[in-house]
Amino acid sequence: MPLLVMKFGGTSVGSLDRIKRAAKRIGVEVAKGYDVIVIVSAMSGKTNELVGWVNETSPLYDAREYDAVVSSGENVTAGLMALTLQEMDIPARSWQGWQVPLKTTSAHANARIEEIPTDNMNAKFGEGMRVAVVAGFQGISPEGRITTLGRGGSDTTAVAFAAAFEAERCDIYTDVDGVYTTDPRISNKARKLDKIAFEEMLELASLGAKVLQTRSVELAMRFGVRLRVLSSFEENDENSGTLVCAEEDIMESNVVAGVAYSRDEAKVTLVSVADRPGIAAAIFGPLSEAGVNVDMIVQNISEDGRTDMTFSCPTDQVARAEAAMQASKDAGDINYHDLVADTDVAKISIVGIGMRSHAGVAAQMFKALQDEGINIKVITTSEIKVSVLIDRKYMELAVQALHDSFELEKA
């Protein structure tokens, strides 16, 4: 039988009534002749509660026990979903990560999937099981310990199963009805996209759009898994939601597909750094080791053998960055006059595969911001995106201005 993967996020299974609603959706697909692998998240709020319990019990916790605790939320949902389906006379059973087994690395709390053997589950489908309800977000390490995949890891679980079992499609059910040109809460002109290319979705996800986890889109692009983002709270048909697919499956793309933003950004500048070979490695090596997620990097013109080095990172990592740079300075690895951190900035980005074949996109972006009196602090570009740092107070104005400038409300 053809196979479909369906993933339900925390809000979609946040109560017994919502689990029943999701089960009815699964029943519709079973009635169409599909075998279904269902990936479930913990009920909304449960993972945060479990994390809070761990922190309260042991602030310097053992990561292996952390995973054992926080993975339990998905186990509860999987069992309840299987019971609900059984009450509907649908042959279903729940699977925890170790039962599949979903094999991962040993990096607890942020493990990566290494292999999903299919024999065990396929044997159960052969015996008459129609729905496998899998606890998302979790797997098993080579040492036999439970691991978790990081926040949002159920999306990655779903795509990995779709790739391993060569599913016809992977449907992601969430609290929004698709991928929009920007956040509808900021612009009432935001338009739902019928299709979006993997590369565009990957950039939007990494730049702050929270519809899909970045790693899940990476996996989908690598293995060619067709993703569909749908709402759990609306009636859907074959044309509902947004299909995330290969570029060649899209007839005609707009130059810009969407505007993304990240509110919690900081700009860090090392003032008067020695401009010498290896200085970049001396700065960004320690930052990497300290777990600082550096994004935009700009080096000023060198004067008298000194330069300023600017980079952006999440605001909650500024203290970590400052500590890493001070330690390197104390050790004599780098020398700078001062470190200046601006934690009141936001990152605004435009994304679109159409940028490859159209000139003047960056100029149009800069003109739209200029017309609103918005000063740009840092600029970075890639083949299909342009990102800028601006004062956070102008964030919503910038998003609306760019959405209007590129006429993203038009199909």
Annotated binding site: 7-10, 47, 74, 174-175, 180, 185, 210-211
Q: Residue positions in the annotated binding site for ATP? A: 7-10, 174-175, 180, 185, 210-211
Question: Which 8-state DSSP code applies to residue 98?
Answer: G
Strand-strand pairing, 306-314 and 242-245: unpaired
Tokens of 260: 């993304």
Phi, psi of 62, deg, nearest 5: -75, 120
38, 7 contact by CB (below 8 A)? yes
Distance CA(297)–CA(287), nearest Å, equals: 13
User: How far is residue 303 from each of residues 288, 294, 299, measured CA to CA in Å?
Assistant: 27, 25, 12
Classify burial at 375, counting beta carbons within 10 Å of its beta carbon; exposed 0-12, middle 13-18, buried 19 or more: exposed
7, 14 contact by CB (below 8 A)? no
Rg (CA), the chain: 23
Query: SS3 sequence, 151-162?
Result: CCHHHHHHHHHH
> How many CB atoms sit inside 10 A of residue 26's CB?
25
Strand-strand pairing, 242-245 and 195-197: parallel
> How many CB atoms sit inside 10 A of residue 396's CB?
16
SS3 291: coil
Q: Residue positions in the annotated binding site for substrate? A: 47, 74
Q: For residues 226-253, b (16+ Cβ closer than 10 Å) or e, as one string?
A: bbbbbbbeeebeeebbbbbbeeeebeeb
Strand-strand pairing, 103-104 and 113-115: antiparallel
**With the C-alpha atoms ordered 275, 281, 286, 292, is the resulting torsion angle positive or negative?**
positive
Tokens of 99: 């039962």
Tokens of 83: 């019971």
